[in-house]
Amino acid sequence: MFSNTKCECGHQNHAGTVLCESCGKPLTEEWAGNPETPLEMRYDGVARRSQKANPDLLDRVWNFFSSVKVAVWLIVLTLIGASLGTIYPQENTFLNLQTYQEFHDYYKEHYGTAGVVYHALGLSRVYSSWWFIGLLVMIGTSLVICSLDRVLPLYRALSKQQIRKHMQFISRQQVTYSGPEPVNKEAWLDSFGKELKRKRYKVWRDGDALMAEKNRFSRWGPYINHIGLIIFLLAVLGRNVPAWNMDQYVSLDEGETEQIPGTNYFVKNEKFTVEYYTDAELPPTLKGTERPKLFETKATLYVCTESCDDPSKDPVLSPVKTHDIRVNHPLSYKGLKLYQYDYTPKPKLVSVSPMLVDKKTGEQYGPFTLSMRNPALTYRAGPYTLTLKDKFMDFGLDDQGRPMTKSREPNAPAFVFIIQGPDLPETGETYIYFPQQIDKVKFRQDVLNKAIADKLDIRVPSMSGVVLSENTSTLNVRVDRAMPFIWTGAAIFMIGVAMGLYWHHRRIWLRFDDGVLSLGAHTNKNNYGLRMEVAAAMTKAGLPVSDKSLDNRRKSP
């Protein structure tokens, strides 16, 4: 087979060439032997780069990835693998589960035996499994090698095309015409060429042979989209680089400021709002249901400028951005993005501003502000001094009857003061204060405080003295430095795919032999459009033909 790579036109072809690179004569026996069938025009019949006589191991690996058939298999396997992962929820959807055992138990509880098998097979984490990633890597490899292997030979073939093609090449195209030579050959050729030019063809002449071509660039579409995909896949891989990627959750009460872990940024939840649609806004079947309309965290982002790494001092913060974070409207600052993720509707006491009341005279002193978190240690109220001795966020008694806090949340806060002042001993009296009325009653504040309860009272005069956080807002903080590359890859892919699928490379060859006009035309897509175009040009040039009669497939039985 490799002995006859030299064509009768004198051109020396590469091994594996199907159609002579110069004149287009079919070279392989398969094609030369059946003079009736239309030709296979893939890659213009040139040999792929990797096709050679004695492949070694490297060549074999290369050839494997260079095959479109292998590429299709890879795509199909990826498709099947991906679909398996949708049977049950994937592990990464459960933020609160982490260990193998926890996942095992979850799948067992929710999906029974099938769930256990699913988990054991690793199908519950398909998309991060070695074999799935391996398939993607192989697809990436195939993209590179397939493209490299085809684009250069194709470029070579298309950039040095011979105008006069072999007779067999012309007569075995998908679109063909053969008929008697027009009366005035030269004039007809001129006007035919002009018609084609009007249809934006480039036209070349070589004696009485003609070649016309348009939209060659669309042939590069597939290679461009493959480049886009490679960039995309590399960018996806780049997201694994720790410095490029961050994914944190920050829960904030209203008014609370917290550091974003691992960064120099702090974020404050100024106010969280949740709104539901009113019944008037809802259609009949949804009336009475809680349909959320808005989740919004008014947030301020700070950057720490001083004593950021010194736990003995409070960090010095300077605000850099204020934004209303809503679903679909994240806060974005220098690659850092804060998304509204979730919220917990749980009212929490932030601070109270009570008055100290002399029960006998009714005189009020204050107010003084008592913060639930890190309160000041001493307070002045008129002639009295209050010293904070102890504080419980969630007051209760342990099993030995000792006061303790049941949690870190201010569910039932209690403050233990030493009060000094008129009518009180020098060392002061202990006074326990429950800011919430319900706790005051439940834990019997007056009984606990004994005698002093008859003298003094700490009391919040109105609701304006109470600061509450209605909701806790959870924000998702993200850094994803690979995103620009992801979008670049996607954009290049789109350009390539549109080039390849919305424009069609069309070529027309024509020659005269002994008073017979032979025409062949080829396109990689949309033969129908090519037939219409050729028929219209020929008819206008004065040789009426119908588009259907040009169809070579119909001619062959």
Partner 1 sequence: MKRYRKPIQYIVLFLVLLIGGYAVGHTLFASTAVLKTGDEPPAFKLLSLDGSVHDSAEYAGKPLIINFWGTFCPPCRDEMPALQNVYERWQDKGVQLVGINLSEDKLSVESFARQVGAHFPILLDRNRQTEKRFGLKQYPTTFFVYPNGKIEAILIGGPLTEEQIEAHIEKLVAGRS
Partner 2 sequence: MSLLDFSQKALLAALLIYSASFIFFMIAVGGKKWSNREPAAHSRRWGWTGFGFAAAGWAAHVTFFVTRWVAGGHIPTSNMYEFMTMLAMAIMLAFIVIYLIYKNALLGAFTLPLTVIIIAYASVFPSEIQPLIPSLNSNWLRVHVTTAALGEAFFAVGFAAALVQLLRVIDYKRTDKAGKRARRWMEVFLLVILMVIGFLLSVFSFRAAGYQAEFHQVITKEDDLGQQQTTERQVVYGLPPIVKPYSSDTVEIDSFLGMKKPLFAAPPWLKGVNAERKLNTILWSIISGLILYGLLRLIARKQLGAVIHPHLSDIDPDDLDEISYRSIAIGYPIFTLGGLIFAMIWAQIAWSRFWGWDPKEVWALITWLFYTAYLHLRLSRGWHGAKSAWLAVIGFLVVLFTLIGVNLVIAGLHSYAGVS
Q: Which of 14, 326, 406, 540 binds partner 2 (CB under 8 A)?
A: 326
Q: Which of 175, 493, 506, 538 binds partner 2 (CB under 8 A)?
A: 493
For residue 36, count CB atoms less than 10 angstroms from its CB and return exposed for 0-12, middle for 13-18, buried for 19 or more.
Answer: exposed
Closest to partner 1 by CB, 301 vs 530, is: 301
Q: Which of 271, 373, 478, 481 binds partner 1 (CB under 8 A)?
A: 373
- Interaction partner, residue 345 (partner 1, partner 2, none; CB < 5-8 Å by kind): none
- Interaction partner, residue 326 (partner 1, partner 2, none; CB < 5-8 Å by kind): partner 2
Closest to partner 1 by CB, 13 vs 405, is: 405
3-state secondary structure 469-538: ECCEEEEEEEEECCHHHHHHHHHHHHHHHHHHHHCCCEEEEEEEECCEEEEEEEECCCHHHHHHHHHHHH
Closest to partner 1 by CB, 129 vs 420, is: 129
For the record, the structure tokens of 315 come out as 């960090």
- Interaction partner, residue 294 (partner 2, partner 1, none; CB < 5-8 Å by kind): partner 2
Query: Cα torsion at 256, 257, 262, 263 (round to 10°)?
Result: 150
Closest to partner 1 by CB, 201 vs 368, is: 368
- Interaction partner, residue 316 (partner 1, partner 2, none; CB < 5-8 Å by kind): none
Window 96 to 115, contacts with partner 1 (CB under 8 A):
98-99
Any contact of residue 520 with partner 2 (CB under 8 A)?
A: no
Any contact of residue 360 with partner 2 (CB under 8 A)?
A: no
Q: Partners of 249 in the beta sheet?
A: 476
Window 44 to 63, contacts with partner 2 (CB under 8 A):
none
Q: Could you list the beta-strand ranges (E) of 395-461.
A: 395-397, 403-405, 414-420, 429-433, 456-459
The dihedral through the CA atoms of 109, 111, 114, 115 has a sign that is negative
Any contact of residue 150 with partner 1 (CB under 8 A)?
A: no
What DSSP character marks residue 317?
A: E
CB of 167 to partner 2, least distance (A): 23
Q: What mask, x for binding partner 2 by CB under 8 A, covers residues 82 to 121? A: xx-xxx--x-x-------------------x---------
For the record, the structure tokens of 109 come out as 């509880």
Q: Report the number of secondary-structure helices (H) and strands (E) in the chain.
A: 14, 25
Stretch near partner 2 under the rule CB under 8 A, chosen from 355-363, 369-377, 478-486, 505-513: 478-486
Closest to partner 2 by CB, 180 vs 283, is: 283
Whether the upstream peptide bond of residue 89 has omega within 30° of 0, thus cis, is no
Residue found under tokens 């000792």:
402
CB of 237 to partner 2, least distance (A): 13
Q: Are 47 and 27 contacting, i.e. CB atoms less than 8 angstroms apart? A: no
Any contact of residue 258 with partner 1 (CB under 8 A)?
A: yes
Any contact of residue 528 with partner 2 (CB under 8 A)?
A: yes
Query: Cα torsion at 161, 162, 167, 172 (round to 10°)?
Result: 10
* Terminal Cα distance for the chain, rounded: 30
What DSSP character marks residue 430?
A: E
Q: Which of 35, 55, 112, 134 binds partner 1 (CB under 8 A)?
A: 134
- Interaction partner, residue 311 (partner 2, partner 1, none; CB < 5-8 Å by kind): partner 1
Question: What one-character-per-residue DSSP string does 64-102 give?
Answer: HHH-HHHHHHHHHHHHHHHHHTTSS--GGG-TT--SHHH
CB of 240 to partner 1, least distance (A): 5
CB of 486 to partner 2, least distance (A): 6
Question: What one-character-per-residue DSSP string does 2-32 give?
Answer: GGG-B-TTS-BPPTT-SB-TTT--B-SHHHH
The dihedral through the CA atoms of 138, 140, 146, 149 has a sign that is negative
Stretch near partner 1 under the rule CB under 8 A, chosen from 3-11, 137-145, 321-329, 349-357: 137-145
Window 46 to 65, contacts with partner 1 (CB under 8 A):
49, 58-59, 61-62
Angle between helices 130-159 and 68-84 (to 10 degrees): 150
In the complex, which residues of this chain contact partner 1 (CB under 8 A)? Answer: 49, 58-59, 61-62, 98-99, 128-130, 133-134, 136-138, 140-141, 144-145, 148, 152, 234, 237, 240, 258-259, 261, 309-312, 373-375, 377, 388-394, 398-399, 404-408
Q: Provide the binding-site residues for partner 2, judged by CB under 8 A.
A: 40, 42, 68-69, 71-72, 75-76, 78-79, 82-83, 85-87, 90, 92, 112, 127, 277, 281-286, 291-295, 326-330, 337, 339, 341, 476, 478, 480, 483, 486-487, 490, 493-494, 497-498, 501-502, 525-529, 551, 553-554
